[in-house]
Amino acid sequence: MSEAKKLHVALFPWLAFGHIIPFFELSTPLINLVSLPLPTVEHLPRNAEATTDIPSHKTPYLKLAFDGLQGPLLQFLQTSTPDWIIYDFAPYWLPSILANLGISGVFYSMYGAWTLSFFGSSSSAMINGEDPRTGPEDFTVPPEWIPFPSKIAFRLHEAKQAFRNHFEVNDSGFSDVFRLGSVMGGCDVIAIRNCNELESNFSRLVGELHSKPVLPTGLLPPADFDGSRDQDDVWLTIKECLDKQNKGSVVYIAFGSESELSQPELHELALGLELSGLPFFWALRKRDNSVKLPDGFEERVKGRGIVWTSWVPQLRIMGHESVGGFLTHCGYASIIEALYFELPLIMLPISLDQGLIARIFGEKKVGIEVTKDEDGSFRREWVAESLRFVMVEKEGKPYRDGAKEMKKLIADKDVHDRYVDHFIEFMQNHRVA
């Protein structure tokens, strides 16, 4: 690329690792980090700079601090004059700043096109509150504007949680849905971590609902993964444990750095793992020390089950030959990583769009959801049944085969590189002169 055509692009992700990491993956290694001072906000712990630093009920205060970056970001944009800025769902105030500066903006969605479609149009449903759906029950069926067959909808308990946590105004002064609608309504382009080979109907629908160009950036799968490199002590210890298990026999369990299980949920999940009889490796990131495993659990599963309570090298674990399945909260990034390693999914969605993600990948026959009661609770027996079905039973073979088939798409570097190239080409040809 010649100097005359070289793009200058700024990135402004939301302060959560599930958002920051894909922004890095899209830009690396062509990135320079710029420090913006996060203001002090009442009720936000000192030195809290990401959602992983705080319990979920304090997230609105982090959004309030994030909103305090308007001034520093404006100063940066005025002095650095990028051609484009790629930003996340939270800065509802940014599109008006960009319009005044003559800088083009891309909303980069970590949510799938199915989720964006489900929320409706930015101008009416999301910003002005004109959504014809007025209660949680209305969100348990596909919305009327989806013109093709779809089963994508919330369970009632998921809809109630979404209303409470994301549709209603929170302590930041705005609802998450208002923030999302504002950035989608005010951007020039919507980019989605997606590819048409995975789904194209929902991506087209997003463009129609928001009257904007929609560009998939590919799935950003793990790049040139080599599990033999960087043999640090943590990995060597974990590897030694995994090496003792049979090929494809181990269930890997991880719920990301932010999802939180209640004490009853943790209890039933642990006893479900025990009841399944399967070997497992559980990366358990507990923020609250009052949430405890069942008495005697670790002793009873000794030799076949490991609970690891600090950071783990997830890709190395997924890539180990003894690991044969993934019990997940349905974070989109984690699912992409698991399918890259041919791991079928046992899905236990916890928050916002994770239920919709579970419906999508359930339809694609790469995993199943753990059964839940109407209130969202689940039982140990249902956990054990789901694990055994996907991991060992004959009836689960189509899901194991489906994960292997999906790997062909997710690991196709050329496919995903072409999406990034097209995205860059679009920015080259449509930037403000």
User: Would you say 402 and 368 are in contact if contact means Cβ atoms under 8 Å apart?
Assistant: no
| Ordered DSSP codes for 107-127 | EEESS-HHHHHHT--IIIIII
Say how far apart CA 348 and CA 369 lie, in whole Å: 6
Say how far apart CA 267 and CA 369 lie, in whole Å: 18
Answer yes or no: 19 catalytic.
yes
Q: Is 66 exposed, middle or buried (0-12, 13-18, 19+ CB in 10 A)?
A: buried
The angle that helices 332-340 and 397-410 make with each other, rounded to 10 degrees, is: 100
> Which spans in 153-278 are helix H?
156-162, 176-186, 201-210, 233-243, 263-276
User: Would you say 169 and 82 are in contact if contact means Cβ atoms under 8 Å apart?
Assistant: no
Residues in CB range of 318: below 8 A, 6 or more apart: 252, 326, 337, 338, 340, 341, 343
Q: Is 395 exposed, middle or buried (0-12, 13-18, 19+ CB in 10 A)?
A: exposed
Which position among 88, 176, 188, 353 bears the catalytic label? 88
Tokens of 140: 């348990």
Which position among 19, 166, 210, 416 bears the catalytic label? 19
Answer yes or no: 88 catalytic.
yes
Say how far apart CA 419 and CA 192 lie, in whole Å: 11
Q: Is 207 exposed, middle or buried (0-12, 13-18, 19+ CB in 10 A)?
A: middle
Q: Which residues are known to be catalytic?
A: 19, 88
